Amino acid sequence: MAVESVRSSAPPAEPSLHRVMGPWLLLLFIVGDILGTGIYALTGQVAKQVGGVVWLPFLVAFVVALITAFSYLELVTKYPKAAGAALYTHRAFGIHFVTFIVAFAVMCSGITSASTASRAFAANMSHAFDLHFSPTGITLTGLGFMALVAAINLRGVGESVKANVVLTVVELTGLLIIIMIGFWAISRGQGDVSRVLEFKPMPEGQSFFWPVIAATTLAFFAMVGFEDSVNMAEETENPTKVFPKILLAGLLITGVIYVLVSISAITLVPPDQLGEGEAPLLKVVQAGAPWFPLAVFGFISMFAVANSALINMLMASRLVYGMSREHVLPPILGKVHPTRRTPYVAIAFTTLLAFGLITFVGGVPQLGGTTALLLLCVFTVVNVAVLVLRKDKVEHDHFRTPTPLAILGMLSCAFLVGPWTGRDPSQYTIAGVLLAIGVGLWLVTVAINKATGTVPSEPVMEDLGGHGPQN
């Protein structure tokens, strides 16, 4: 949300962000952001909910994500700015408090996801090197890893995206290994293919519908990430033309990979065994290819979750930067380093929040589920916003999603938020605490704006065509 200052002298203009992301880098960014912690860590948890049809919740989550992606495409090509969902919310409703809460929820979802990935990184390191870390060792290693992510982020988006390219290739390799091992074993008559159509036994009179829905709320964590890309709009070349085909291609690639990985996993490992421990895919390797070096796959898993942390922290810092430049957060968070051209204060702020989560909050199921919960709430608002903003015309051409899809996206996301899904109640507690912190920060921001004489006004969108300075 933009502002008009009552002071006569404007501060010196901050340098703009680099436009360094072409179509291929953006595709790798999206694929790398979606792949990672979710599929590597939650496949077993999903199997515990539904049994052999572990692929079904991933497929349902993919469809819900795809529908909402169409709404994001209309909005990011209409308003190609770094602020993402929070900007769309303010353009649609003009309520500063709601805008802030949406921005805070998105930021927290990224930091929560990255913090979960950091703890998973530490756990995989312990396994790969046979270090037997204590819980304190896991925490300290996670903190050290998060500090490394911050250092890469500070170097610049170019360096961050190059690191993403390498890590995306690594995590894709790991999932392709699982797929190849699964289908190689099937061709040799190993495993039990019939399990892919078996539901978990249910008490008499109960339907499998609700277990699938409960599993979908977990599987949805594996599909989030595509929404991060809209926060890179100011660092993407010609975003109004590039985003539609690249975002849809990235979602399709990851959706197919998830279904194939799920089929391979459940064919080789029974659902009750797959749901034990924190390394479900490692069990698939052991069952289908006992000759394959397990330490190698441990390394791959470690770097896969590392990519999730890097991309989520990259998104969170850019979101904080975008909101600060619109005076939703204090102006200091919008400062850009004069030589590295990165939002260094925002990076420091988001890293400190991640340190707190790594140190004090729970593991993958709790934080992963909370991430999905927060984003499903945001997606509900975004699907409403795209309909409200149909009345807002812009001068350049942009993508337009079919109205029925936006309505379906709104209803499906709102449905998956509710307690009737069987979601772990602790996820509502964690989300409630995070949003309470958001309310406190909102009050602080209002006080700062009042003290500095900053008067909120309607959003002022500049550079809508996405053709800013090529710095």
> 399-432: per-residue pLDDT in tens?
889 999 999 999 999 999 999 888 888 889 888 9
Four-residue CA torsion sign, 468, 314, 85, 62: positive
Return the domain boundaries, the chain. Answer: 24-456
What is the rounded average pLDDT for all residues in the chain? 81
pLDDT the model gives residue 382: 94
Share of the chain above pLDDT 70, in %: 86
pLDDT the model gives residue 348: 93
Helix (H) / strand (E) containing 455: strand 454-456
Closest CA to 117 of 311, 274, 281, 343: 311
Q: Does domain 24-456 have CATH number 1.20.1740.10?
A: yes
Is the pLDDT score of 290 beyond 60? yes
Question: Which has the higher per-residue pLDDT, 327 or 381?
Answer: 381
pLDDT the model gives residue 83: 56
Buried b (16+ CB within 10 A) or exposed e, 94-123: eebeebbbbbbbbbbbbbbbbbbbbbbbbb
pLDDT the model gives residue 150: 92
Q: List residues bridging with 236 in a β-sheet.
A: 21
Q: What is the DSSP letter of 456?
A: E
pTM of the shown model: 0.81
Helix (H) / strand (E) containing 294: helix 294-325
pLDDT the model gives residue 447: 84
Is the pLDDT score of 339 beyond 70? yes
Q: CA 80, CA 21: separation in Å to the nearest integer?
A: 14
Task: Report helix, strand or coil for 258.
Answer: helix
